[in-house]
Amino acid sequence: MASTAATPSSFSLLQSSSSASTSSTRSPSFVRLASTLRPPLRRLGFAGAAADASFSLHVLSKINSYKSQSTKPIRGVASMAKKSVGDLTSADLKGKKVFVRADLNVPLDDSQNITDDTRIRAAIPTIKHLINNGAKVILSSHLGRPKGVTPKFSLAPLVPRLSELLGLQVVKADDCIGPDVEKLVAELPEGGVLLLENVRFYKEEEKNDPEFAKKLASLADLYVNDAFGTAHRAHASTEGVTKFLKPSVAGFLLQKELDYLVGAVSNPKRPFAAIVGGSKVSSKIGVIESLLEKCDILLLGGGMIFTFYKAQGMSVGSSLVEEDKLDLATSLLAKAKEKGVSLLLPTDVVIADKFAADADSKIVPASGIPDGWMGLDIGPDSIKTFSEALDTTQTVIWNGPMGVFEFEKFAAGTEAIAKKLEEISKKGATTIIGGGDSVAAVEKVGVAEAMSHISTGGGASLELLEGKQLPGVLALNEADPVPV
Ligand SMILES: Nc1ncnc2c1ncn2[C@@H]1O[C@H](COP(=O)(O)OP(=O)(O)O)[C@@H](O)[C@H]1O
Ligand SMILES: O=C(OP(=O)(O)O)[C@H](O)COP(=O)(O)O
């Protein structure tokens, strides 16, 4: 689980452009996690293709325990430093009501059992710090994307696990504002924890309604944001409340995510390699452009490579191609050259005669994909080249699988990269997994423990890697100046 081993009193933040995203209309996270196993079918629209259900269950159980690793903060890249919960001592906290926004948006199965408690475990260090210092903790989170009050999105199923991890009985409120909640807050002892009901049961949450934010804030004396996975949302409980609660500080998880995803990437030990894969180049343009400014080596894999091949005049059969991104691919290749970044595209690929787990497959040079065949993984020569390139690196960030790793026949490239990262991590390289399907991939291979950092936020980590600012972080108070 996430460790509090080293939790500096304040942390550094280096971000460039400002672009706060708001809530989208994607399906709830727990639905999405299950559907993570079939995205190619969904995203590519291969009608009639069916993922193997037993395999899906297998991967789901593997996803169950992806972990944040112990904290190894990277410091010294300050353009803005936020106040941390670690700055608050018992003098600040004893008897105080603290509103803690966590991201407890965990996947639940049909029987409301938690299938991955990572986000709950990751929230524990901050809560423990507060209770150990005599605070009264008012814990808030969203779960999924409910439209109004929806029992299946209640936070009630989380109470037993939270209580177990904290070693105390967490009290659960049936609402997140109002007189009944105020009564429970008044009864809360020092060191007690009250879990508010799903804050998204109110539409005002995602609208960042100031009156709603004020009602939430009125419950407490000060505010801690530890919800990294939701820090890219400017919502009432992540941003609005900070206008009414002072100080508003960062929790340990938020701090650790920023230390890695901003600190390590902005000020990397070199050589610094980025591995970007996944289905489409369009979803990773911002990440690739941003990483090209920073990295020494860029390895590209996944479905996006065929757009690059086609842009270079190669035939790609029926592989995934984004016709409207051919010029962009060409300009990214030119940009890499201009920046002196060593951009490696796979030289061979595993092709399939259909998009299915039981497709016929063969290995061909990247320039030799026949009509009617599609590339679904990188080939053995590419694995060798990529592995050799990674051998020398000191920092690696990975976002997106190398192939359709959900199908065993096309998982070799992704698995080989995961194992290589395990190997170099053990030798001292910093290895960062930037959320999303890459997390499921390192879990599937069983190498999660070896990684330096595995992000708990998919969308939030992508936005950070793109160089965007996160509203939930921006809103926090700045750290006290360091005495000289
Ligand atoms: N060659 C390929 N053709 C089609 N889909 C691919 C290919 N390689 C990888 N994918 C798919 O890309 C998906 C992940 O894409 P994406 O969401 O961009 O990554 P992440 O979630 O890591 O950010 C996976 O489900 C994987 O099956
Ligand atoms: O699961 C989450 O995001 P993620 O799926 O991008 O990691 C967060 O809890 C944010 O949820 P949201 O995307 O419904 O705002």
Neighbours of 168 (CB within 10 A): 16
In whole angstroms, give the CA distance from residue 421 to residue 103. 27
Structure ipTM: 0.94
Please list every protein residue whose CB sits less than 6 Å from any atom of ligand 2. 23, 26, 29, 32, 103, 105, 145, 229-230, 233, 435, 457-459
In whole angstroms, give the CA distance from residue 337 to residue 382. 20
In angstroms, what CA-CA distances link 148 with 26, 144, 145, 153, 209? 16, 12, 9, 10, 15
Supply the pLDDT for residue 436: 77
Residues facing residue 364 across a β-bridge: 349
Q: Which of 280, 284, 294, 444 is catalytic?
A: 280
Give me the helices (H) in 113-194, please. 118-132, 159-166, 179-187
Nearest Cα to Cα of residue 157 among 103, 206, 115, 205: 115
Q: For the sheet containing 430-433, what is the strand order? A: 342-344, 297-300, 272-276, 395-399, 430-433, 453-454
Supply the pLDDT for residue 437: 86
Is 436 marked active-site? yes
For ligand 1, whether the C-beta of 436 sits within 6 Å is yes
Is 45 marked active-site? no
pTM attached to this predicted model: 0.81
Burial class (CB in 10 A: 0-12, 13-18, 19+), 303: buried
- Helix or strand holding residue 276 (H, E): strand 272-276
Q: Which atom of ligand 1 is nearest to the CA of 436?
A: 21
Supply the pLDDT for residue 109: 95
In whole angstroms, give the CA distance from residue 454 to residue 449. 9
Could you tell me the distance, in angstroms and rounded to a whole number, from the CA of residue 49 to the centre of ligand 2?
A: 27
Is 269 marked active-site? no
For ligand 1, whether the C-beta of 303 sits within 6 Å is yes
For ligand 1, whether the C-beta of 404 sits within 6 Å is yes
For ligand 1, whether the C-beta of 240 sits within 6 Å is no
Please tell me the number of the ligand nearest to residue 229's CA: 2
For ligand 1, whether the C-beta of 216 sits within 6 Å is no
Q: Which residues contact 321 (CB under 8 A, 6 or more apart)?
A: 306, 307, 310
Q: CA 408 from chain center: how many Å?
A: 24
Could you tell me the distance, in angstroms and rounded to a whole number, from the CA of residue 364 to the centre of ligand 1?
A: 20
In angstroms, what CA-CA distances link 39 with 46, 195, 283? 10, 33, 14
Could you tell me the distance, in angstroms and rounded to a whole number, from the CA of residue 4 to the centre of ligand 1?
A: 33
Please tell me the number of the ligand nearest to residue 205's CA: 2
Nearest Cα to Cα of residue 251 among 132, 122, 126, 118: 126
Residue with token string 């970044």: 341
What is the identity of the amino acid at 51?
A
Residues facing residue 80 across a β-bridge: 13
In angstroms, what CA-CA distances link 1 with 65, 315, 337? 9, 46, 41
What is the identity of the amino acid at 350?
V
Q: For a substitution probing ligand 1, which of 35, 66, 279, 438 has the most ligand atoms within 8 Å of its CB?
A: 279
Supply the pLDDT for residue 80: 57
Tens-digit pLDDT profile for the chain (484 aa)?
Answer: 222 222 233 333 333 222 223 222 222 222 222 222 222 222 222 222 222 222 222 222 222 222 232 233 333 333 358 999 999 999 999 999 999 999 999 999 999 999 989 999 999 999 999 999 999 999 999 999 999 999 999 999 999 999 999 999 999 999 999 999 999 999 999 999 999 999 999 999 999 999 999 999 999 999 999 999 999 999 999 999 999 999 999 999 999 999 999 998 999 999 999 999 999 899 899 999 999 999 999 999 999 999 999 999 999 999 999 999 999 999 999 999 999 999 999 999 999 999 999 999 999 999 999 999 999 999 999 999 999 999 999 999 999 999 999 999 999 999 999 999 999 999 999 999 987 788 889 989 999 999 999 999 988 999 999 999 999 999 999 998 877 6
Q: Which of 459, 467, 468, 472 is catalytic?
A: 459
In whole angstroms, give the CA distance from residue 32 to residue 338. 38
Q: Which two tokens stand for residue 60?
A: 């789901």
Could you tell me the distance, in angstroms and rounded to a whole number, from the CA of residue 68 to the centre of ligand 2?
A: 17
Looking at ligand 2, which residue's alpha carbon is closest to its atom 1? 29
Is 183 marked active-site? no
Q: Which of 62, 67, 83, 119 is catalytic?
A: 119
Looking at ligand 2, which residue's alpha carbon is closest to its atom 4? 458
Over its C-alpha atoms, the chain yields an Rg (Å, rounded) of 23
Q: Which atom of ligand 2 is nearest to the CA of 105?
A: 9
